[in-house]
Amino acid sequence: MMNIRTLALTAAFAAPGLAMAQNDPYLWLENVEGPNALAWARGQNETSLAELEAQPVFAPIHERALQILTSDERIAYPSLMGGEVYNFWRDAEHVRGIWRKTSLDSYRDDETGWDVIIDVDRLAESEDENWVWAGSDCRYPDYDRCLVGLSIGGADATVRREFDLQSRSFVEDGFAVPESKSGISWRDRDSVFYGPAFEPEDMTDSGYPRTVRLWRRGQARADSELIFEGAKTDVASQGVRFWDGDDYYDLIIRVPDFFSRHYFRYIDGEVRRIPIPEDAELAGMLDGQLLVELKSDWDVAGKTWKQGALIAAPIESFEAGAPELSVVFQPDPRASISGVTTTESTVIVNVLDNVAGRLLRFTHGDDGWHDEALDVPELGSISVVTADDKSDRFFYNYTGFLTPSTLFEADAVANTHTQVRSEPAWFEGEGMDVTQHEAVSADGERIPYFVVKPRGFEANGQNPTLLGAYGGFEVSRTPFYSGVTGSAWLERGGVYVLANIRGGGEFGPKWHQAALKEKRQRAFDDLIAVSEDLIERGITSPEHLGIQGGSNGGLLVGAVMVQRPELFNAVVCQVPLLDMKRYHKLLAGASWMAEYGDPDDPDQWQYIREYSPYQNVSEGSQYPRAFFTTSTRDDRVHPGHARKMVAKMLDQGHDVLYYENIEGGHGGAANLKQRAYLSALIFAYLHQQLFGSVDGAAERS
């Protein structure tokens, strides 16, 4: 069953607007598959890889990363469907992966009873295609047919095919969509909601579906019935069938911008708007109660419902224009809702409380909502993995920087849990320590951050330190266990730091909105403040401090590098946005203007230009030797950002490293082998830059 909370934005590969910005001498590098651009990328790869692979730490880090990432001791995370457990799994034997299932009893007891449904490696070989698994959408409640997604090389654009779970075969003449970012989701066995993303008239400026159509079995795609049209300037529109027990609701979701939603019911051939604030999100439904998560205050009939709250009302009252609202949960100022999940009779709210996870269970009765704290481990990160539609069973994961991931099976009503799986300790954590501190940003805001200290740590300013952050799109960064980071960095004497800067969602919508658009500099100031605090505390020094970020985090570290280069000696900038003058013209970039602003608006460009890394990097400045990575097959953040930044910096006389994976999608790696290789490159670079010498890094290995 589709989670209404998340709208999957998948769209066609949009060609960049090469007619613009002709004064940019590096514009030719935006031609993704252009022979000259690819030759340039391969040339940069050859130089960088020869150096990094020659580092003494590269081979052992690579070997260990591959062992960890392909180990059979990893947790096979479950997905509950129809009383059975489904799982997608990759290992050394199944590089592309297998989609498989087993019974719940078998899953609890051991992992020998897996029944393979699709072997992607065999499928790729038989069809002579570079398939990467892109998920499945199985028809509720029978779970007899699935829409299987397959990506070429890890791109966001996917092929979707109808698959029969009984016959274990793709359905001949079934629902199928060629490679694109089109939308398709089940309505019933013989019809789907469909949003084409092939022709410009069917796509938004962001490259996503603009229309929603009803496509019936046996029809040609072109003959599907148009039932909704959004605007060309929207991000996307999508149709879904949403279930509440045995009842269902057909919904259309229009996305005017990244943080706005218009929800409609499609009933009896009519489209009817559900009157909730544009920036609110439908989080689920239980017994006819529509759950709404507020991103700003909402005034209704003289009463204010507060930002960040989870509220509810009968769906009929919404449709009548007089919602009978009640508060399900209102977080404290230093807490936020990080997830909402429904079981058969409960609502589970995942709460971040000063960046530590806890779970609350809510039930609804005639006298309103009742809550109870669920019995879960404390002071770590908690995430609900999957929940059952026909019971109150759910699985959740618990982890921390020094605590390997542990999977629990729980009963929301009985408030019980049982440990089902636990990953081994991939590195020796004994003697290591985790502390939480706060830095004061330029405007006085307190910015929390975690410090993971290796054995024998001394605050002498000499510790190689890697600082990670994201700071955008209301994404929360929480403690996590990484065997690769632990073995490649912590065990070898490095310090790891995670900063919870503004722009993220750690403290709710207000924390995110504090760094939107013209306030973007706050996110950069926050990371700078944490960096300075680390130096002031003697944890590290500029010679030994590096920063790392990807995607929006790549923009973050790129901007901070340009603004305060003297603070760092290493910058890992992965699949980044960097040219903020043209980001909205490239691939899915137009969908992010609600986050960054519109560069074509002179007033908005005034504040964007102040931090855009590509526009501000200069010949006369002294920058740390940065490492930029991207992927040719990234059809979300255009590889031209990294390519152009590196080319410009090289021509200015700066020394930088560059690696472009020819496939790999937005994650930069299409399979586990590629992930291990990229990790080894990054940590070899960090050791080289931050340990002071290659010999010093090798001595700690």
The residues assigned a catalytic role are: 551, 666
The strand pair at 289-293 and 310-314 is best described as antiparallel
Determine the Cα–Cα distance for residues 223 and 31; give it in Å rounded to an integer. Answer: 34
Determine the Cα–Cα distance for residues 552 and 567; give it in Å rounded to an integer. Answer: 20
> In the numeric block, which tokens belong to residue 608?
């964007």
Determine the Cα–Cα distance for residues 616 and 612; give it in Å rounded to an integer. Answer: 6
Collect all residues with Cβ–Cβ distance below 8 Å to 333 and sequence separation of at least 6.
507
Q: Residue 329: helix, strand or coil by DSSP? A: strand
Determine the Cα–Cα distance for residues 34 and 623; give it in Å rounded to an integer. Answer: 30
Determine the Cα–Cα distance for residues 675 and 172; give it in Å rounded to an integer. Answer: 35
Q: Read off the amino acid at residue 35.
A: P
Please list the residues that pair with 166 across neighbouring strands: none
- For 59, what's the count of Cα atoms within 13 Å in the CB-facing half-sphere? 5
Evaluate whether 580 touches 595 at the Cβ level (below 8 Å). no
Q: Residue 37: helix, strand or coil by DSSP? A: helix
173 φ/ψ sector (left φ>0, alpha ψ -120 to 50, else beta): left
Evaluate whether 541 touches 568 at the Cβ level (below 8 Å). no
Evaluate whether 689 touches 624 at the Cβ level (below 8 Å). yes
Q: Residue 86: helix, strand or coil by DSSP? A: strand
DSSP 407: E
Determine the Cα–Cα distance for residues 188 and 216; give it in Å rounded to an integer. Answer: 9
Determine the Cα–Cα distance for residues 356 and 362; give it in Å rounded to an integer. Answer: 20
Determine the Cα–Cα distance for residues 92 and 67; give it in Å rounded to an integer. Answer: 9
Helical axes 35-53 vs 672-690, angle rounded to 10°: 60
